[in-house]
Structure 1
Amino acid sequence: MTISVLGAGAFGTAMAVSLSQNGPVTLWARDAEQVRTMQASRENSRRLPGVKLPEDITVSADIEDALAAKTLLLAMPMQKMAGFLDAHSETLAGKTLVSCSKGIDLSTGQGPTALIRAKVPGARAAVLTGPSFAADIARGLPTALTLACADHSEELQAELSTPTLRLYRTTDTTGAELGGALKNVYAIAAGTVIGAGLGDSARAALMTRGFAEMLRIATELGARAETLSGLSGFGDLVLTCTSTQSRNFRLGCSIGSGEGFDPSITVEGVATAGALNKLAHRRGLEIPVAAMVLALTERTISVDEAMQALLARPLKEE
């Protein structure tokens, strides 16, 4: 049966393009006007310009038509997912729901698979995450991602793999989704370092200490350390901390340089920084880099003050 991708942002569109190599795909967008434009031009000029939509992609604004598929990729902002699941919980029961979101739900503190299980108990929950940019996937550049599902999901792995998109599976959904969510926070920090002109050595140090924080909080929450050392953790951290294609990194650059940033662009790391610091406080965990990111995004501290606060921390063993 046709796979549906729910959400026609850059990543959702790119996944639809890649998966159309295997057969028909429905790409659903909420905005009917956007859908009409995409149907006429065969391109998502708003989110993924320059990439033609293959004929095997059906672009639709009909949610009931999109929900007819057995496998649904949820390519929507993390903070929109709970409302969507609530609105369509009955129809989604029995489906395989694969989250493509990287973040933590602010109202519940849950990651995407836990949120899916809570809102739609009859659905099979999975998460697709790892080091990837939409433009690379859409253009057929080699990309490797992590597919996490509580069962071993060999058939889902085969269904979502393409000649240029290689998936590695794991049953550690907690580790996979935390790696994808937390790295966004540290990408903001890395961008701030570069935007402020502090140099690549400072960025390398920050990435290393940020990864230590990721491991600390993820293992506290039940993740396996080896998952964080893989594609969905370390791999994604490296990509987003070193490329201007990352929205989180670009936001950090704007903070570091004092320049403005387009408020219409979704930057998941901002919400995640808030959720992460609340969680760490409840658990009694030290995450100084993430704490500085939260303060910077809330504009309660300057870049110079954040840098001095981190440099003034007590010397200790690595």
Structure 2
Amino acid sequence: MSCKVTFLGGGSFGTALGIMLAKKGLEVNIWDRDKSVIEDINVKRENLKYLPKITIPYNVKAFSDIEEAVSGSDVIVLAVPSHVIRILSRQISQLVNENQIVVSIAKGIEEDSLKRLSQVIEEEIPQCPVVVLSGPSHAEEVALDIPTVVVVTSRDMTSAEKIQDIFMTNKFRIYTNEDIIGVEIGGAVKNIIALAAGISDGIGYGDNTKSALMTRGMSEITRIGIKLGGKSETFAGITGMGDLIVTCTSMHSRNRRAGILIGQGVSVEEATSKIGMVVEGIKACNAFYKLKEQLNVSMPITEVLHKVLFEGKDAKHGVYELMSRDKKSEIYDI
């Protein structure tokens, strides 16, 4: 397959996907602002900052010039955190054309507008089809060819199918799903629940507590997702329950690791600093708190976590608040 793919952002997941595609024989470009990342990739064949000890093939080239990186590319992957998506999309809007597919691998919603990331990209780059790739996929495992399953979705499913063909390998299986709202919302809200699950672990609670958080968290994902137009079956799938499981249980998960630190009494700012990368669950919690208030959707875990993260509430008191709510029927509280 003759294809050039450019990753804008030299973080862990973008680099991992670039390595995977390079092994397929594709030409891969990576653009990043950090000159040390570029030098490490081009000279040392390793991304020491974000994905150490993984060899990067020679058909991966890193660039500091964004125009040079995207020129002639068939696919442009926005491999940056959610809060940078609009800025980056606006930056490349005049550099891309309708024959190029833009892929988003970020998980979240825009804090100010509360729009899904595909909506943000479409506003800034209306000439290109936008595809979302999402699912339970830790970069560290993808880079090592550990079997992984994800989903692609788009308002233009022909483009989604093209990305399925380009990215799929015998170790990286891709399903299509026409429910772009459900896929994006599932990927965003699960970070909130993973942060809460990490706090539970940090406090020292056990498997019973985490199981309850994950299960009731799934109800919150489904509730807000359906309210926004997503389909219930999506939340039972790869980008719903699948992504929730891996993010709540793995030490690869920066949201869970940050939560553990917060549960141990570390401040939110210090926990984020120690993780060394963006903790999407913190931004997502603030955004979805605003959204659930606006839409009048019940999200008690999100509400209590918001108090812990932004209002100084003690995490143990937050758990007590959740456990002491009025009695309800589980079946009728989905």
TM-score when normalising by structure 2: 0.92
Query: 1:33-72, aligned counterparts within 5 Å?
Result: 33-68=36-71, 69-72=73-76
**Structure 1 counterpart of 2:307, from 295, 310, 313:** 295
Q: Determine if the alignment matches structure 1 residue 73 to structure 2 residue 68.
A: no
Corresponding residue for residue 210 of structure 1: 217
CA contact 2:11–2:50 (8 Å) conserved in 1: yes
Corresponding residue for residue 317 of structure 1: 329
CA contact 2:129–2:156 (8 Å) conserved in 1: no
**Structure 1 counterpart of 2:271, from 245, 251, 261:** 261
**What is the DSSP-based 3-state SS (H/G/I as helix, E as strand, rest coil) of the residue aligned with 1:92?**
coil
Query: 1:273-292, aligned counterparts within 5 Å?
Result: 273-292=285-304
Question: Amino acid of the residue matched to residue 261 of structure 1?
Answer: A
- Structure 1 position 219, deviation (Å): 0.4
Alignment deviations for residues 208-258 of structure 1 (CA, whole Å, 9 cap, x no partner) = 001000000000000111111111111000001111110000111111111
1: CA distance between counterparts of 2:162 and 2:249?
34
1: CA distance between counterparts of 2:40 and 2:183?
35
2: CA distance between counterparts of 1:162 and 1:104?
29
**Structure 2 counterpart of 1:118, from 123, 136, 141:** 123
1: CA distance between counterparts of 2:272 and 2:293?
31
Corresponding residue for residue 162 of structure 2: 155
Runs of 5+ unmatched residues, structure 2: none
Corresponding residue for residue 105 of structure 1: 110
2: CA distance between counterparts of 1:38 and 1:213?
41
Alignment deviations for residues 144-176 of structure 1 (CA, whole Å, 9 cap, x no partner) = 001111233322210111231111111111111
Question: Amino acid of the residue matched to residue 141 of structure 1?
Answer: I
Q: Determine if the alignment matches structure 1 residue 221 to structure 2 residue 231.
A: no
- Structure 1 position 97, deviation (Å): 0.7
Question: Amino acid of the residue matched to residue 20 of structure 2?
Answer: S
CA contact 1:193–1:256 (8 Å) conserved in 2: yes
CA contact 2:37–2:48 (8 Å) conserved in 1: no
Q: Determine if the alignment matches structure 1 residue 200 to structure 2 residue 207.
A: yes
Question: Amino acid of the residue matched to residue 33 of structure 2?
Answer: R
Corresponding residue for residue 320 of structure 2: 308
- Structure 1 position 93, deviation (Å): 3.6
- Structure 1 position 299, deviation (Å): 4.6
Corresponding residue for residue 13 of structure 1: 15
- What's the % identity of the aligned pairs? 33
**Structure 1 counterpart of 2:196, from 189, 209, 222:** 189
CA contact 1:144–1:231 (8 Å) conserved in 2: yes
2: CA distance between counterparts of 1:178 and 1:10?
22
Question: Amino acid of the residue matched to residue 7 of structure 1?
Answer: G
1: CA distance between counterparts of 2:201 and 2:133?
29
CA contact 1:93–1:121 (8 Å) conserved in 2: no
Runs of 5+ unmatched residues, structure 1: none
Corresponding residue for residue 180 of structure 1: 187
- Structure 1 position 37, deviation (Å): 2.6
Number of residue pairs matched by the alignment: 318
- Name the Cα RMSD after superposition: 1.2
TM-score when normalising by structure 1: 0.97
